[in-house]
With several copies, the nearest count.
Chain A
């Protein structure tokens, strides 16, 4: 996935390779780095970067992430629109197609490339023995479907990516 970050007011672009089976790779300013990440606590992580272990600490406040790493502190602003779920950004969140709880995919009701209306049903999930339906948050075109029937899905995973129509652009980036 591509990232456009403001790090202490300096712009940085990077790309992470996201295939889960391969060694994870980050590309940053022409250099590729191997990395692994482990979560230690709610706000603590351990990054292995090019063979070196680096613990770091995160805290979010509004749209800013405070990050402490090896004695240095950074304030990071994520320039890409609502890529992830962040507390308080409910407007963006309302526009994401993601399950509100761990669930299993039962049926997928649309296909890639299809045009969908706002509130059109996209996918049926099962959780806590109840069937529930994810709907389109806005008019647009389905560009990617990230889960098939039977898949276990978690909150925060974008299950259906929809490119919004012109008049419905607010809050939706290429990664939605």
Chain B
């Protein structure tokens, strides 16, 4: 087993990885940028190396600097976390060249799965269902029409050169195909200079379901069930849960097997996540493989009691998987809410700043993976994730109430967070029914304003706190300058 690991990441995920390292008796090296000198992940490590300025290219994305730090400190392995260099094949290769173990899949698998066309071809060759569609553009309306019939309506016309929704049309009725084709072609030509289009199956309000897999170096592979990640804003997940209310044991097994086929097709090793879209008829389609630890991995840990970071490290160090598929059991329901520094009242714009007060929820079935502390200033340079709140309970209704209780206990003052927003979404009738899809927030919670049932109580609370005699206000707590005015504040009317 490794003696020392460098964690090439920051924030909550770096802290979380270091916790498992500590439990495994492995020393950790943090890396940090100038903006992160006081960050929590630096406090949790055994050693720390400054990479450079806050810009990711000068710090957390700088391969040379990270490799140099690892060599300098004598790290045997690097855990990349998620984001930053975690899916960078060049970084994985470089680690290999330098004799450092990259805790993740081989560079070849990252490369293959990062190329969407090659990945799609590999999946097709391994009988993993992919979204039906054409692989070449077509301008003959007759050929398009027969392709559309083969794919099955509704279909989506997409610009080959496209992006951003330009040249895109949903066609539900064969009679509308001609008109939509003409519009899409001309729109694409105006936007991209060329009008070529192709067809893909259109999925209406699909669910986003992903399967966690573990593959060791000896070809043994298991799946750890699904995660339902359909609740998204700005195309980014914000609430995840497992099991998914949309899966039964049969569908879970079918998707699990498809996920194992997908990673086997790519020569994958270590922890990975196979993402699928699931339509409302129970058909699922391969989307992509995330060749790293997912943000939402804790919900799988809650219902399986398996520590995924420990598995990653064990696999990277060459150990075989210690359990077989049939030993993996799922107990209860887990939900995760991501706590971002962002404002749900302004379309989730990031709001970094200083955390003036922090109190995290505690008690039965609660887990907090946090990268912040009271007094920490959230830097502007990085992803605004602050922490993740995860709950575990016997069943979905209990997990929902537990999440709502925990969110109500979670106090973050000084910056905007979506805590109150999440409480409302989790308590909504649609979420309770399990009727979640990727457009739920856009359709039902945007724009959003807090209900503010406590405004009057807040006014009285504020005013009462101002009237409290200073000597009582000290309570049992630390005496602060708020209570005991410093000479700066009080000497004004003194005769000196």
- A/B contact in complex, CB under 8 angstroms: yes
Q: In the bound complex, do residue B472 and residue A28 qualify as a contact, i.e. CB atoms below 8 Å apart?
A: no
Give the one of B37, B45, B481, B491 with max A CB within 10 A.
B491
Q: How far is the CA of A173 from the CA of B413 in the complex (A)?
A: 29
Q: In the bound complex, do residue B470 and residue A154 qualify as a contact, i.e. CB atoms below 8 Å apart?
A: yes
Q: In the bound complex, do residue A93 and residue B494 qualify as a contact, i.e. CB atoms below 8 Å apart?
A: no
Q: Is B193 an interface residue when CB atoms closer than 8 A count as contact?
A: no
In the complex, chain B residues whose CB is within 8 Å of the CB of A63: none
Q: Is A136 an interface residue when CB atoms closer than 8 A count as contact?
A: yes
Q: In the bound complex, do residue B495 and residue A41 qualify as a contact, i.e. CB atoms below 8 Å apart?
A: no
Q: Specify which of A51, A54, A72, A101 is in contact with B486 (CB 8 Å cutoff).
A: A101
CB distance from B236 to the nearest CB of A (A): 22
Q: Specify which of B30, B38, B486 is in contact with A38 (CB 8 Å cutoff).
A: B38
In the complex, chain B residues whose CB is within 8 Å of the CB of A38: 37-38, 475
Q: How far is the CA of A31 from the CA of B455 in the complex (A)?
A: 14
Known A85-B489, A155-B470, A155-B484: A14·B465 in contact at CB below 8 Å? no
Known A40-B477, A71-B407, A72-B453: A93·B463 in contact at CB below 8 Å? no
Interface size of A in residues (CB-CB distance below 8 Å): 86
Q: Is A121 an interface residue when CB atoms closer than 8 A count as contact?
A: yes
Q: In the bound complex, do residue B459 and residue A7 qualify as a contact, i.e. CB atoms below 8 Å apart?
A: yes
Q: Is B492 an interface residue when CB atoms closer than 8 A count as contact?
A: yes
In the complex, chain A residues whose CB is within 8 Å of the CB of B413: 43, 57-59, 66-68, 73
Q: Is B97 an interface residue when CB atoms closer than 8 A count as contact?
A: no
In the complex, chain A residues whose CB is within 8 Å of the CB of B462: 3, 5, 58, 65, 67, 74, 76, 78
Q: In the bound complex, do residue B456 and residue A42 qualify as a contact, i.e. CB atoms below 8 Å apart?
A: no
A-B interface, 6 closest residue pairs, ranked by CB to CB distance from nearest: A94-B492, A41-B477, A100-B490, A59-B356, A39-B475, A71-B408
Q: Map CB proximity to B onto A141-162 as digits: 1 under 8 Å, 0 otherwise.
A: 0000000000000111100000
Q: How far is the CA of A135 from the CA of B490 in the complex (A)?
A: 12
In the complex, chain B residues whose CB is within 8 Å of the CB of A7: 455, 458-459
Q: Specify which of A57, A83, A133 is in contact with B411 (CB 8 Å cutoff).
A: A57
Q: In the bound complex, do residue A132 and residue B495 qualify as a contact, i.e. CB atoms below 8 Å apart?
A: yes
Can you give 15 A-B contacts (C-beta < 8 A)? A16-B467, A41-B374, A41-B478, A43-B413, A47-B461, A54-B461, A58-B465, A60-B482, A61-B356, A67-B461, A68-B412, A72-B458, A86-B482, A89-B489, A93-B490
Q: Is B5 an interface residue when CB atoms closer than 8 A count as contact?
A: no
Chain B residues touching A, majority SS: mixed
Given pairs A47-B461, A54-B461, A57-B413, 17 additional interface contacts (CB within 8 A): A7-B458, A7-B459, A18-B467, A46-B38, A48-B48, A52-B46, A60-B356, A67-B458, A71-B423, A72-B454, A84-B466, A93-B490, A100-B486, A130-B491, A135-B493, A154-B471, A157-B470
Q: Is B218 an interface residue when CB atoms closer than 8 A count as contact?
A: no
Q: Is A107 an interface residue when CB atoms closer than 8 A count as contact?
A: no
CB interface residues, A 59-113, toward B, < 8 Å: 59-61, 65-74, 76, 78, 83-87, 89-90, 93-102
Q: Is A22 an interface residue when CB atoms closer than 8 A count as contact?
A: no
CB distance from B478 to the nearest CB of A (A): 5
Known A87-B482, A133-B494: A102·B471 in contact at CB below 8 Å? yes
Q: Specify which of A37, A67, A71, A134 is in contact with B494 (CB 8 Å cutoff).
A: A134
Q: How far is the CA of A157 from the CA of B480 in the complex (A)?
A: 17
Q: In the bound complex, do residue A132 and residue B459 qualify as a contact, i.e. CB atoms below 8 Å apart?
A: no
Q: Specify which of B43, B484, B485 is in contact with A55 (CB 8 Å cutoff).
A: B43
CB distance from A125 to the nearest CB of B (A): 10
Q: Map CB proximity to A onto B323-359 as digits: 1 under 8 Å, 0 otherwise.
A: 0000000000000000000000000000000101101
CB interface residues, B 433-484, toward A, < 8 Å: 450-484
Q: How far is the CA of A133 from the CA of B408 in the complex (A)?
A: 49
Q: Which residue of B lies closest to A26 (CB)?
A: B460
Q: Is B414 an interface residue when CB atoms closer than 8 A count as contact?
A: yes
In the complex, chain A residues whose CB is within 8 Å of the CB of B357: 43, 57-59, 66, 68
Q: Is A8 an interface residue when CB atoms closer than 8 A count as contact?
A: yes
Q: In the bound complex, do residue B463 and residue A16 qualify as a contact, i.e. CB atoms below 8 Å apart?
A: yes
Q: How far is the CA of A154 from the CA of B375 in the complex (A)?
A: 22
In the complex, chain A residues whose CB is within 8 Å of the CB of B48: 48, 53
Q: Is A12 an interface residue when CB atoms closer than 8 A count as contact?
A: yes
CB distance from B491 to the nearest CB of A (A): 6
Q: Is B487 an interface residue when CB atoms closer than 8 A count as contact?
A: yes
Q: Is A29 an interface residue when CB atoms closer than 8 A count as contact?
A: yes
Q: Specify which of A43, A69, A87, A98 is in contact with B454 (CB 8 Å cutoff).
A: A69
Q: In the bound complex, do residue B356 and residue A121 qualify as a contact, i.e. CB atoms below 8 Å apart?
A: no
Q: In the bound complex, do residue A16 and residue B454 qualify as a contact, i.e. CB atoms below 8 Å apart?
A: no
CB distance from B411 to the nearest CB of A (A): 5
Q: Which residue of B lies closest to A122 (CB)?
A: B493
